[in-house]
Amino acid sequence: MDLGGRSAIVTGGAGGLGEATVRRLVDLGMRVVVFDRDAGRAEALAKEIGDDAAAIGGDVLDDEDVAAAIAAAGSLGPLTVLVNVAGGGVGGGRTVARDGTPHDKDAFVQTVELNVVATFNMTRFAAAAMGGNEPDEDGQRGVIVNTGSLAGLEGKAGQLAYGTAKAAVLGMTLPLARDLAPMGIRVCAIAPGTMGTPVMLGALEHLKHDPAEGVLQPKRMGYPDEFALLVESIVRNPYLNGENIRLDGGLRFTAK
Ligand SMILES: NC(=O)c1ccc[n+]([C@@H]2O[C@H](COP(=O)([O-])OP(=O)(O)OC[C@H]3O[C@@H](n4cnc5c(N)ncnc54)[C@H](O)[C@@H]3O)[C@@H](O)[C@H]2O)c1
């Protein structure tokens, strides 16, 4: 599919992995909506990119904000690519803390909302919009890429909420791909290991262990652009569909 002049939405587009994805999609000739609840950073990025980007400051859980992002994409070109990057952890910890306190219920629910409900919400509206596109020679109208985590496959102790939420994101891939195939829309997800985004680097600063521990090769954290490169591969390869792809340098999470 020729991506030139087509539009994309990147949720969490002002964050570490999101920004790298925005930049790469623009380099591919796409026009990109940076959809992020951090309106200031979204606007700064879109301004720096110029005519090929627009910022929507809003929440992926809010239907009106989602509608605004889809309308903004439509005014840039046919919405063809959605990359759901917004997500993360909202506190949590172990099922029962060392002092005997049970896991906070609100933190669990919020983590599921931020990762699972948000991905579902954005996807349902974006897919409906993509359904109106002219199909290419393969009958393809759009591509959706979701963001899981190794925590969704091999959650560590203390990752109950986040690991559950990311497992659900990865669990959506096949039913989404099956639901949306008749509309010509492919769906894949990426399960990153430890990526050196500003948020991750900040969180790791206080830890004593090497963040690259367990990574086989290359012996370092992933670069945000390596995530964006995999998004590009998924978007450009029409035969990738219904798959969760690890991006981890061979890392396997152990219990702790
Ligand atoms: N960095 C890693 O090592 C790593 C590893 C595995 C998975 N992930 C996942 O990758 C994604 C991005 O991670 P990151 O490190 O770039 O984080 P980040 O915090 O830099 O980016 C997340 C962005 O999403 C935005 N956001 C959060 N909730 C939102 C909402 N409700 N509506 C709109 N925008 C919202 C934030 O403002 C932020 O800009 C997350 O889903 C994270 O769980 C990251």
| Average pLDDT of the segment spanning 198-224 | 88
Indicate which atom in ligand 1 lies nearest the CA of residue 86.
24
CA atoms within 13 A on the CB side of 203: 11
Non-local CB neighbours of 227 within 8 Å, separated by 6+ positions: 17, 20, 21, 190, 192, 195, 247
| Average pLDDT of the segment spanning 233-249 | 98
What is the tens place of the pLDDT at every residue in 90-115? 888 999 999 999 999 999 999 999 99
Supply the pLDDT for residue 157. 95
- pLDDT of 205 strictly over 80: no
Please give the model's pTM, rounded to 2 decimal places.
0.98
- pLDDT of 1 strictly over 90: no
CA distance 32 to 8: 5
| Average pLDDT of the segment spanning 66-90 | 97
| Average pLDDT of the segment spanning 139-160 | 97
Supply the pLDDT for residue 202. 85
Supply the pLDDT for residue 207. 74
Residue 156 DSSP class:
P
Where residue 28 falls among pLDDT bands split at 50, 70, 90?
A: very high
Q: How far is the CA of 15 from the centre of ligand 1 (A)?
A: 6
Where residue 256 falls among pLDDT bands split at 50, 70, 90?
A: confident
CA distance 122 to 70: 9
Could you state, in order of their start, the residue ranges of all structural domains in the chain?
7-193+222-247
Supply the pLDDT for residue 106. 96
200 Cβ below 6 A of ligand 1 = yes
What is the tens place of the pLDDT at every residue in 152-202? 999 999 999 999 999 999 999 999 999 999 999 999 999 999 999 998 888
- pLDDT of 210 strictly over 90: no
CA atoms within 13 A on the CB side of 110: 10
* From 36, 115, 194, mutation site for ligand 1 pocket: most ligand atoms within 8 A of C-beta: 36
Alpha helices in the chain (DSSP H): 16-27, 39-49, 63-76, 105-112, 118-130, 151-154, 160-180, 198-204, 224-236
Q: What is the CATH number of domain 7-193+222-247?
A: 3.40.50.720
Q: Report the candidate in 122, 215, 115, 210 with the shortest Cα–Cα distance to residue 171.
A: 115
> Which protein residue has the closest C-alpha to ligand 1 atom 34?
36
- pLDDT of 206 strictly over 90: no
CA distance 190 to 99: 36
Supply the pLDDT for residue 13. 98
196 Cβ below 6 A of ligand 1 = no
